[in-house]
Structure 1
Amino acid sequence: MDRWQNRVAVVTGASSGIGAACCRDLVAKGMVVVGLARREERLKELKAALPSEQAARFHGRKCDVSQEQDVVDTFAWIDATLGGADVLVNNAGILRQAADIVKEGNGPDLRAILDTNVLGVAWCTREAFRSQQRRNVLDGHVVIINSVLGHQTPVTSFSLGMYAPSKHAVTALTEVLRQEFLNKKTQTKITSVSPGAVDTEILDKRVLELLPGLPMLRSEDIADAVSYCIQTPPNVQIHEMIIKPIGESV
């Protein structure tokens, strides 16, 4: 992590789970970290729980990535205050349990999933990459927290709704962004990290009741993977990483 010391990482969905774990891990390894989330009070709690030296390098900021202008304003603040983002961890995502695609009146739920899980990733990546281009930063890294559901859609006793399609879109988006970065003659890397089930707030009690004994990863397991990916040598790009807990049947 030597080359990332005191450089800026932005983590979306930082109020809990994988996002909070990534914030703790990256700031402990010497980065300046900006945690973005809608729940500002959670960001304050995260900062308060850090050792003082790390807390000084952690900045929480309220941001709803499903709102394009919110994203634009936030990255402008990061540029003006901290010099710009060198690493971006696109972690924010939502799963609406009642959002069956064929359910009447579910338009707001379906749009909310696409706005956060797909467009939020696109907008955050666009703003981070444009900032890097303006600053002539050619060695940035964009990480997208995807899902195994972005590669296959298993048969389940309940509907995955728009969540699985949104993650399939993210898989394609990652490759499109890799090609765009390449066309811009930059060394900026992009990595999709696709976990299986992770023990986070996104899985509500209803799902856990339907899947008793489901093996699950810890948020810290995914944070470890993110750190591993951004530490690779300049000539190495991990484009896709799939992580499953031992015992997962799918």
Structure 2
Amino acid sequence: MERWVGRVALVTGASEGIGAAVVRDLVCRGMKVVGCARNVDKIQKLSDELKNEKGSLTAIRCDLSKEEDIVNMFKTIKSNESLRGVDVCINNAGLAHNAPILSGQTQEWREMLDVNVMAVTICTRESFQSMKERNIDDGHIIFISSMSGYRIANEAFTHFYAVTKHSVRAIVESTRQELRELKSHIRVTGISPGNVDTDFAVKMMKDKTKGNNDYRYMDAKDISSAVIYTLQAPSHVEINDVLMRPTEQIT
């Protein structure tokens, strides 16, 4: 990770869960991290906790469902003298609703598409443009996706969420191919976890009793460890797909 010391990483959905774990690991390893979310107070609190670490954390409020917010965030990063641009983009933010194909609410489908697909694509584009204008050819774009991008579970409440995560899988490979056509050495990685011990399922089901199984879930720091693993790979190695499950998870 030495080559990343002092360089800039953007982490979306940085206020809690996997995003906060990734932020912590990157700051402790000396990166200048920009963390964005709608709840910027949580990121600022994390920034205060990490103030004595090797790197730094800058909190930016951003509603990822709004393109204007995303574009303005990148402008803010560019105008900051200590940042100037993005070298690593970690597309972590995502959401899910209990909205099956046959009975779901259109607005909930749109919200999932806006955050899980459109925001991911816009952040990827803006990160690449930031790297390109500064002649950064060794950057990295990482997508925190889901095992739902690789299989369709038999629970109907996960089905439209799976639609969005299959889209992310396509974005990962499309981005890789476009960068290769440009003869760029910017690398692309998709990390797809199974069940992780966060509030994700609780928010999806709007029920604190849902989403619990009788086996140990992965921790957010387990996913963050995969991020670190891909970032520290040799420059000639591109780790494109990482699939992770709790050992006892069935699908």
Normalising by structure 1, report the TM-score: 0.94
Change (3 A) 1:215 1:249: farther
CA contact (8 A) 1:22 1:226 kept: yes
Quick one: which amino acid aligns to residue 102 of structure 1? Answer: L
Partner of 1:225: 226
What amino acid is aligned across from residue 57 of structure 2 in structure 1?
A: F
Find the counterpart in structure 2 of residue 189 from structure 1: 187
Please name the residue that 2:18 is paired with: 18
**Matched letter for residue 68 of structure 1:** E
Other-structure match for 1:248: 249
Let me know the Cα RMSD of the aligned residues.
1.5
Q: Contact 2:140 / 2:231 at 8 angstroms: preserved in 1?
A: yes
Determine the C-alpha separation between the residues in 1 that align with 2:240 and 2:143.
Answer: 10
Match of 1:121 in 2: 120
Q: Deviations over 1:49-100 (max 9, x none)?
A: 224345x711010011221111111011111211100001000000112x22
Residue 83 (structure 1) aligns with: 84
Q: Partners in 1 of 2:9 and 2:109 — Cα distance?
A: 30
CA contact (8 A) 2:152 2:159 kept: no
Structure 2 unaligned segments of length 5 or more: list them.
none
Written as runs of structure 1 = structure 2, the 5 A alignment for 1:62-73 is 62-73=61-72
Aligned pair 1:57/2:95, yes or no? no
More moved, 59-68 vs 4-13: 59-68
The TM-score with structure 2 as length reference comes to 0.94
Cα–Cα, structure 1 residues 207 and 243, in superposed 2: closer, same or farther, change >3 Å? farther
Do the aligned partners of residues 206 and 53 (structure 1) sit closer, same or farther apart at CA in structure 2, a change above 3 Å counting?
A: closer
1:163-188 per-position Cα deviation (integer Å, ceiling 9, x unaligned): 11100000011000001111122100
- Please list every run of 5 or more consecutive structure 1 residues that lacks an aligned counterpart in the other structure: none
Helix, strand or coil for the counterpart of 1:119?
A: helix
Structure 1, 201-210 or 68-77: larger mean CA deviation: 201-210
- Specify which of 176, 199, 202 is matched with residue 200 of structure 2: 202
8 Å CA contact retained: 1:33, 1:58: yes
